[in-house]
Amino acid sequence: MSMYREGYNYYKQACEQYELEPLNFAFYLLSLSKEQLDAYNEKAELKRGHDLDN
């Protein structure tokens, strides 16, 4: 489950940006599909790579 932590952190930042209350980590894992979890992880990896370039 720790492999989804970066995606969850990205999800939380997106929620905060739009002033939405994020799900807690356990509910995040239970509520999202595998495809959604993988998409958040991919976005988090891209953001991390972009942050390292700057």
What pTM does this model have? 0.73
First to last CA, the chain: 29
Q: Indicate the domain borders of the chain.
A: 2-53
Across the range 32-54, mean pLDDT stands at: 84
Q: Which amino acid is at 8?
A: Y
Instruction: Give tens-digit pLDDT for 1-12.
Output: 667 998 999 999
pLDDT of residue 54: 58
Question: Is the Cβ–Cβ distance between 37 and 7 less than 8 Å?
Answer: yes
Phi/psi at 30 (5° precision) = -75, -30
Across the range 33-48, mean pLDDT stands at: 90
